[in-house]
């Protein structure tokens, strides 16, 4: 009998099935909980203690050299679990790096209203919220950088009032965060102008700014977010990366679950493998050396920002393959292959491209050497081994002069001269 999942499920009665699913769910929650700890933080700035939730990804303990982007999540009682769940999902799909996530509890005693208050006239923080700002920017960030392996890339997330507060870290002279997720922000009246002004003055690093809105917001709040969206769409800055979502037929609560994955997809788009849109807009018209440089730069940036030390994905290698093969007579195949051999020494792919380079240049002895080296790297029984071996056979035939190009049109047979003369004499009067 085939003990696959379908058969196993069919033979479990409904009660046992429900019990099985419940236990599985509890085990999953328990596994996740093992990576989350509650920490009481004694703040000298706030002159009180604050409670933090800190999530570290599964690989944190197993890989002591790896660094991780940091996300600070305000309103942790409502946003932390949603953010952590989505960060794990995106990481598992290789659409975002694993992250360290810190949630700040602000709702047990309604701390958020003092933490994130602002002056109605100026839009700037009050005395209490300025202290909270200094707590995050100074004490908390320093604590995380000293005690955890965090990379330079940092995200901050807020909802309604706390979303407005996150922007104080953007409008400062040097933004403390690289990415901002603003969920239905209760903007101060002056905040949109301050955000727009900052977006036009960015010089050194990119800022990723995600904003959402919906019909569930009261008209005054919605109108201010709408006008902010118009401002930011018109911001003329290559450094300010902006994404806006307006949710229809939703609610303020449901929008949290929509905004966080939307924000993650936007912010970590640079981390993801090359999409068809990225290829069309950024790569398709590049020369081979520029395509190779683009690929290398993309992964250098990923390593710098996210601390992942991620190798160039094989699917990204295939994404630019057509440019390397088809343009400039394949002159850059060797450089391409050498780059791949440096990254994936055990893969036959780099040797294949170098073999193609020498075969194109009719240097069959060298081509044969690299094809054979690549073939020897294939594991026994690999389904691609026959196809790879045909490269060797083709080069051997070319070297011996016995190769017939299957794509070449067959030459017309020439008539024998004597037969042609005979026919001409028969038709001549």
pLDDT tens track, the chain, 429 positions: 333 333 333 344 544 444 444 444 444 444 456 699 999 999 999 999 999 999 999 999 998 989 999 999 999 999 999 999 999 999 999 999 999 999 999 999 999 999 999 999 999 999 999 999 999 999 999 999 999 999 999 999 999 999 999 999 999 999 999 999 999 999 999 999 999 999 999 988 899 999 999 999 999 999 999 999 999 998 888 999 999 999 999 999 999 999 999 999 999 999 999 999 999 999 999 999 999 999 999 999 999 889 887 889 989 999 998 899 888 778 899 999 999 999 889 999 999 999 999 999 999 999 999 999 999 999 988 998 999 999 999 999 999 988 888 776 665 554 455 444 444 444 444
**Domain presence at residue 13:** no
Residue 21: per-residue pLDDT: 43
CATH code for the domain in which residue 43 is found: 3.40.50.1820
Give the model's pLDDT for residue 327.
Answer: 84
Regarding whether 181 and 153 lie in a shared domain, the answer is yes
| H helix or E strand, kind and range, residue 174 | none
Verify that 133 and 216 share a domain, yes or no: yes
Are both 37 and 169 inside the same structural domain?
Answer: yes
Pair (239, 348) in one structural domain: no
Dihedrals phi, psi of 102, to nearest 5 degrees: -115, 120
Q: Taken in order 341, 346, 348, 349, is the CA torsion positive or negative?
A: negative
What pLDDT, on the 0 to 100 scale, is given for residue 247? Answer: 97
Residue 6 falls within a domain, yes or no? no
Asked if residue 321 is part of any domain, the answer here is yes
Is 11 within the bounds of a domain? Answer: no
Tell me how far apart the 2 most distant CA atoms of the chain are, in Å.
122
User: Tell me, what CATH number does 323's domain have?
Assistant: 1.25.40.10
CB neighbours of 158 closer than 8 A, spacing ≥ 6? 74, 75, 79, 116, 164, 165, 166, 181, 182, 183, 185
DSSP helix/strand/coil, 63: coil
CA separation for the pair 102, 168 (Å, rounded): 19
Domain holding 203, by residue range, is 32-267
Please report whether residue 413 resides in a domain.
no
- pLDDT number for residue 31: 47
Taking the C-alpha atoms of residue 392 and residue 371, their distance in angstroms, rounded to an integer, is: 6
User: Is residue 80 domain-shared with residue 211, that is, in the same domain?
Assistant: yes
Q: What pLDDT is recorded for position 33? A: 62
CA atoms within 13 A on the CB side of 80: 24
Distance CA 215, CA 230 (A): 17
Q: What is the pLDDT of residue 245?
A: 98
Count of the separate structural domains present in the chain: 2
Distances (CA, A) of 130 to 126, 137, 168, 180: 6, 10, 9, 19
297 and 255 inside one domain? no
Residue 406 inside a domain? The answer is no
Query: Could you give the CA distance from residue 158 to residue 243 in angstroms, rounded to a whole number?
Result: 16
Inter-residue contact 168 to 126 (CB < 8 Å): no
pLDDT at 22: 47
Do the domain assignments include residue 3? no
């Amino acid at each position: 009998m085939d003990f696959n999942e379908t058969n196993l499920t069919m033979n479990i009665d409904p009660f046992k099935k429900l019990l099985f699913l419940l236990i599985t769910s509890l085990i999953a929650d328990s596994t996740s909980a093992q990576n989350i700890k509650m920490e009481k933080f004694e703040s000298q700035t706030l002159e009180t203690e604050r409670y933090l939730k800190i999530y570290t990804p599964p690989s944190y303990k197993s890989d002591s050299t790896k660094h991780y982007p940091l996300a600070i999540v305000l309103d942790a009682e409502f946003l932390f679990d949603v953010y952590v769940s989505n960060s794990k999902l995106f990481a598992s799909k290789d659409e975002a790096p694993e992250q360290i996530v810190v949630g700040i509890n602000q709702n047990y005693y309604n701390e958020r209203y003092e933490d994130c208050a602002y002056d109605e006239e100026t839009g700037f923080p009050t005395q209490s919220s300025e202290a909270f700002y200094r707590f995050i920017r100074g004490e908390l960030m320093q604590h995380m950088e000293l005690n955890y392996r965090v990379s330079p890339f940092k995200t901050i997330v807020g909802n309604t009032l706390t979303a407005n507060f996150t922007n104080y870290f953007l409008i400062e002279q040097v933004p403390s965060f690289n990415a901002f997720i603003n969920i239905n922000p209760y903007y101060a009246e002056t905040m949109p102008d301050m955000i727009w002004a900052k977006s036009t003055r960015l010089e050194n690093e990119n800022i990723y700014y995600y904003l959402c809105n919906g019909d569930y917001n009261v008209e005054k709040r919605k109108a201010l977010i709408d006008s902010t969206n118009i401002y930011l769409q018109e911001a003329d800055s290559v450094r300010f990366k902006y994404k806006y979502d307006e949710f229809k037929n939703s609610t303020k609560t449901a929008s949290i679950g929509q905004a966080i994955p939307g924000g993650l997809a936007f912010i970590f788009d640079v981390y993801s493998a090359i999409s068809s849109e990225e290829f069309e807009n950024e790569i398709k018209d590049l020369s081979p050396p520029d395509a190779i440089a683009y690929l290398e730069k993309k992964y250098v940036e990923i390593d710098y920002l996210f601390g992942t030390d991620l190798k160039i994905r094989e699917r990204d290698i295939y994404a630019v393959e057509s440019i390397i093969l088809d343009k400039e007579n394949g002159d850059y195949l060797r450089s391409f292959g050498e780059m791949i051999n440096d990254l994936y020494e055990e893969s036959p792919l780099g040797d294949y491209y170098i073999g193609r380079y020498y075969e194109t240049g009719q240097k069959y002895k060298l081509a044969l050497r690299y094809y054979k080296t690549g073939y020897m790297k294939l594991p026994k029984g690999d389904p691609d081994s026959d196809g790879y071996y045909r490269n060797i056979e083709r080069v051997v035939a070319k070297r011996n002069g016995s190769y017939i190009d299957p794509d070449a049109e067959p030459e017309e047979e020439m008539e024998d001269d004597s037969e042609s003369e005979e026919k001409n004499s028969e038709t001549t009067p």
